[in-house]
Amino acid sequence: MNLRPVLLLLFVSACSHKADIVVTNGLVWTGLSTGRGQLGAVAMRDGKLLAVGDSAEIARHIGSKTKVLDAHGGLVMPGFADGHTHFIDGGFQLAWINLRDAATPQEFVRRIKAYAANLKPGEWILGGDWDHTLWPGSPLPTHQWIDSVTPNNPVFVNRLDGHMVLANAAAMRAAKVTKDTPAPVGGEVPRDAHGDPIGIFKDNAEDLIGRAIPAPSAEQRDSALARALAHAASLGVTATGHMSASWADLASYKRLERAGRMTLRVALYLPIEDWRTVSDSVHRDGAGDDWVRIGGVKGYMDGSAGSRTAFFFEPFSDSAGYRGLMRQPESDMRSWVGAADSSGLQIAVHAIGDRANAMILAIYDSVARAHGARDRRLRVEHAQHLRPQDIPRFGAQRVVASMQPYHAIDDGRWVEKRIGPVRIKTTYAFRTLLDTDAPLAFGSDWTVAPLDPILGVYAAVTRRTLDGTNPGGWVPEQKISVGEALRAYTYGNAWALFMDQKWGTLAPNRYADVVVLDRDLFTVPPDSLGAVRVRYTISGGRVVYQKP
């Protein structure tokens, strides 16, 4: 008998089970439950998970060419997914002016002056993320604050929630905005006693200035994306839902994918009012692949609580008679949702105030009833302020509550002044949503909040506000466990993006998107969760970040 073919077959078989990468000496949390991780190891080959198990089982997959990574007792888990970012904007923001922690109006002006000193005349000052609630008395900035320090540079800097911007006189001149320029539907332009714009533009009014800003070149957009990818890799983020994306964003992702530079998986959500163009593109060319694809369409019901443009049933507690702002007429949103659903697109809609949330849930319910049962996975982005009777509707209708826990510990510093002690009881209602079987997906809304998902876990578990005034947690009855928070950052997002059969858990044949943390989140004291760091990020079977 000629044994040579048999021996060759055995050799090939043995080689085929050798891993490209093995992570050992860790606590493996698979994401299949909310329980703690177990001692074990993970093997990867050809971009997918080969095996997950105890160290002895995984050892047989180690060959001479296998890269072995030591977790040093840290947590090995599915890569974090961020369900809601403005990802390329985040890449731009990394290079723009940062006003987020400017704690006084004087510091706000000083930073803008210093930034302008390094620009050529005519160059725009963009970015910002300022937060006027940090300032004594919370005054809104005006263009007069900065005109004298930016005479030659238009300024367009946004509040951290993105629903309000400050423009200087140069920017208003460039945009041809005058005393006679009306505010658009769904937007506000505060004015002084003479009727002149003070420089603040809210929600849809932001476009009055934004349309004058030169569009970035393809090279600038690609550079911003590359910065964002590196930042995400350092934080263990291997997938995201890019909200309010543009066709130029999609083109940038595709260019970097062709160049082999994508290190996270992205689903883009384009404007809902363009549903027909999106539908035609998907039906003609396909949605894309598992690195870059069109996820669906995204719309807006209202604004934000921080800008007083969230839409409520009852007036703001500190603004008598004012209930907020609808970004779109309800009839338009109902028409767009119905048409997009008929074309088979997934739909995500921003809703923050309780009335905006109730309205979009009602629209979703009526469209689903009219069009018949199917797996829609409709999404509400933010779902921040909910009436008690509306919370169970997420679970009953299988509507994704796409939420950002860091917002809770930020807004918790001031939002009770806006909406009172009763409405805050069902604000960022993570616990009640989970208890009523809502599909929960977590994210950051970067650049509105930091991209770091570990800070989001800290926020969801502790609910300790950023100002330190709530050490036991703000609305503590809405706290959730570490495992529940991690599940919302992994499997929850995979389900919300129709990717739950491909990533979001550690199981054979899932994509090898894995993060290794330097400590076990399940045993770290809750108030120290934010100090945990990423040791390795593995995306598609490649190590894309290693802690220095």
The domain tally of the chain equals 2
Do 144 and 192 belong together in one domain?
yes
In a domain, 156, yes or no: yes
CATH of the domain at 54: 2.30.40.10
pLDDT confidence of residue 307: 87
In a domain, 266, yes or no: no
Do 6 and 60 belong together in one domain?
yes
Q: Are 405 and 416 in contact (CB under 8 A)?
A: no
Q: What is the pLDDT of residues 168-199, one digit of tens each?
A: 999 999 999 999 999 999 999 999 999 999 99
Do 179 and 102 belong together in one domain?
yes
CATH of the domain at 178: 3.10.310.70
Q: What is the pLDDT of residues 21-50, one digit of tens each?
A: 999 999 999 999 999 999 999 999 999 999
Closest CA to 490 of 528, 449, 457: 457
Look at residues 156, 188, 210 and tell me which one is the last residue of a structural domain. 210
Do 1 and 69 belong together in one domain?
yes
Query: What's the domain range around 153?
Result: 97-210
Radius of gyration of the chain from Cα atoms?
Answer: 24
Q: What is the pLDDT of residues 467-504, one digit of tens each?
A: 999 999 999 999 999 999 999 999 999 999 999 999 99
In a domain, 364, yes or no: no
Chain mean pLDDT for the chain: 95
In a domain, 286, yes or no: no
Q: What is the pLDDT of residues 424-457, one digit of tens each?
A: 999 999 999 999 999 999 999 999 999 999 999 9
What would the mean pLDDT of 116-132 be, rounded to a whole number? Answer: 95
For residues 426 and 387, give the distance between their C-alpha atoms in angstroms, rounded to a whole number.
Answer: 7
For residues 543 and 548, give the distance between their C-alpha atoms in angstroms, rounded to a whole number.
Answer: 13
Q: Are 540 and 512 in contact (CB under 8 A)?
A: yes
Do 36 and 141 belong together in one domain?
no
pLDDT confidence of residue 16: 60
pLDDT confidence of residue 13: 42
In a domain, 47, yes or no: yes
Q: Are 395 and 436 in contact (CB under 8 A)?
A: yes
Do 145 and 201 belong together in one domain?
yes
Q: Are 228 and 91 in contact (CB under 8 A)?
A: yes
pLDDT at residue 5 tops 70: no
The counts of H helices and E strands in the chain are 19, 22
pLDDT confidence of residue 477: 98
Do 105 and 69 belong together in one domain?
no
pLDDT at residue 253 tops 50: yes
Per DSSP, 443 falls in state -
In a domain, 102, yes or no: yes
In a domain, 164, yes or no: yes
Look at residues 178, 210, 242 and tell me which one is the last residue of a structural domain. 210
Q: What is the pLDDT of residues 356-398, one digit of tens each?
A: 999 999 999 999 999 999 999 999 999 999 999 999 999 999 9
pTM of the predicted model as reported, rounded to 2 decimal places: 0.90
Cα angle: 410, vertex 415, 418; to 5 degrees:
155
Q: Are 24 and 68 in contact (CB under 8 A)?
A: yes
For residues 229 and 424, give the distance between their C-alpha atoms in angstroms, rounded to a whole number.
Answer: 36
Do 106 and 205 belong together in one domain?
yes
Compute CA distances 128 → 106, 159, 207, 447, whole Å.
15, 7, 17, 10
Count of C-beta atoms within a 10 Å radius of residue 385: 28
pLDDT at residue 6 tops 80: no
**E strand or H helix at 165:** strand 164-167
**E strand or H helix at 538:** strand 534-539
Closest CA to 83 of 492, 366, 459: 492
- The H-assigned helical ranges of 377-452 are 391-397, 405-411, 415-423, 430-435
pLDDT confidence of residue 320: 81
Q: Is the peptide bond before 447 cis (omega within 30 degrees of 0)?
A: yes
Sign of the torsion angle spanned by Cα atoms 147, 148, 152, 158: negative
Look at residues 153, 187, 210 and tell me which one is the last residue of a structural domain. 210
Q: What is the pLDDT of residues 189-228, one digit of tens each?
A: 999 999 999 999 999 999 999 999 999 999 999 999 999 9
Strands (E), 92-138: 97-98, 125-130
Do 150 and 48 belong together in one domain?
no
Do 131 and 204 belong together in one domain?
yes
Q: Are 48 and 509 in contact (CB under 8 A)?
A: yes
In a domain, 359, yes or no: no
User: pLDDT > 70: what percent of the chain?
Assistant: 97
Per-residue pLDDT band at 17 (split at 50, 70, 90): confident
Q: Amino acid letter at 370?
A: A
Q: What is the pLDDT of residues 134-155, one digit of tens each?
A: 999 999 999 999 999 999 999 9
pLDDT at residue 263 tops 90: yes
Do 107 and 206 belong together in one domain?
yes
Do 103 and 200 belong together in one domain?
yes
**Which string of b and e fits 308-344 if b means at least 16 CB within 10 Å?**
bbbbbeeebbeeeeebbbbbbeeebbbbbbbbbbeee
What would the mean pLDDT of 241-259 be, rounded to a whole number? Answer: 98
